[in-house]
Amino acid sequence: MTITADEYRSRIDRLAALAGDAGLDGVLLTAESNIDYFSGYRHHAPWTLFARPFFEVVGAGGEAVLLGHSFLAPEMERTSAVRDIRAYTKSGGGLDALVDCLHEMGLQRGRLGMELGDEQRLGVTHVEFEALRATLEDVEIVDAAPLLWRLRMVKSPAEQALMRESAAITARAMTAGFERAAPGVTEREVARAVGEAMMREGADRPGFIMMASGADNHHVLSGKPTDRALESGDMLWMDLGSVYRGYWSDFCRACVVGGPTRAQRDGQAAILEVNRACVEAVRPGEPIHRLPAAAEAAFARLGMQVEVGAGRIGHGMGLMSTEPPHVAHYDATIMTPGLVFTIEPRFVNEHGIFNCEELVLVTERGGELLTAMPRSLSDA
């Protein structure tokens, strides 16, 4: 399934309506994920081309303009649902063209929303932002993050289908990694098999590959692949994410070289019981902090003292690898059909990393798992 031009148009119209309700005269977007969401144009490598910022301007009346360097213009025209495409030619000169565009759209005064707040980042430098604010001296620049997340958090059926496929690609890549794992094989060699499988299976690109192996590294939950060679008896834990048509997946599984011990099987069974409690706690109309409470209660039933505390046991997913909401005690976001997030309660001990992360979709009936990969400890 693809996202249609009509869906992008609807997103722009809804953003314009929310902006109007909030007393804004327009919204200026500078971040890759927001421009992708509201136009369909996805930059090939925004993190490497800081000299060529790109922008989307949405007026309160629903008009939209996409502005980028002339190098980007042909791809903007080919892929974007926004039809008003503007280009500038001098690297580092996008700000002047942006100001001209804002003036032409009547945004030389009033209130302009930008990506200033919660889990947002500007795609311009601080110096450029200050120069823009000084130039637009009659414009009040305010935070548009609440409006953006209000739209982006709930995924449409088309987005859900893309995320389901992203998860399926990641599952096939995970399987390829476990099949490569054997005594003497390094973590890097496993990671290579994973990355190659992601591309072979249709990903835009690998998102991230994290792993840990060996009893001395069970605490390394954000480790990158190393030259460590696997040994018989090692648990190899992998946390993977692939990107498919812009949409991320993220989940983790583990295998044991030579097969798991009884203690490892018992640990995996325990974490799956906690996961089950979290999924059963998914109820539309209820706050998401029900889930960490359910996790703690499940750990207690198992006789385990595991507290979520101020941390989180999951996060939203979409066009970024982590988005609002947070599956945490401090997040009161109401679970709404279309919300997609991970659940990843865990515990670590001398036997291994017991964390079987899942990607969950909120439906009218409760929680649906988008991750279809087996959950038992694999043999390697």
pLDDT digits (tens, 9 = 90+) for 26-52: 999 999 999 999 999 998 887 766 788
Q: What's the rounded mean pLDDT across residues 110-118?
A: 97
pLDDT of residue 44: 85
Check residues 92 and 179 and name the one with the higher pLDDT: 179
- 148-204 pLDDT, tens per residue? 999 999 999 999 999 999 999 999 999 999 999 999 999 999 999 999 999 999 999
* Residue 197 · residue 177 · CB < 8 Å: yes
The angle formed by the CA atoms of residues 238, 240 and 243, to the nearest 5 degrees, is 170
Amino acid at 252: C
- 364-380 pLDDT, tens per residue? 999 999 999 999 998 87
- Edge-first strand order for the sheet with 55-59 is 85-88, 64-69, 55-59, 26-29, 110-114, 139-143
Residue 310 confidence class, pLDDT cut points 50, 70, 90: low
Q: What's the rounded mean pLDDT across residues 209-233?
A: 95
- 187-200 pLDDT, tens per residue? 999 999 999 999 99
H or E segment at 20?
Answer: helix 5-21
Percentage, residues of the chain above pLDDT 90: 91
- Judge whether residue 21 has pLDDT over 70: yes
Go through the domains of the chain in sequence order and give each one's CATH number.
Answer: 5-152 (3.40.350.10), 157-379 (3.90.230.10)
- Judge whether residue 1 has pLDDT over 80: no
Report d(CA 170, CA 111) in Å as an integer. 42
Q: What's the rounded mean pLDDT across residues 91-110?
A: 90
Mean pLDDT is lowest, of 36-50, 231-245, 280-294, 360-374, for: 36-50
* Residue 211 · residue 236 · CB < 8 Å: yes
Mean pLDDT score across all residues of the chain: 95
In order of 56, 154, 242, 342, the CA distances from 22 in angstroms are: 19, 20, 36, 31
- Judge whether residue 90 has pLDDT over 90: no
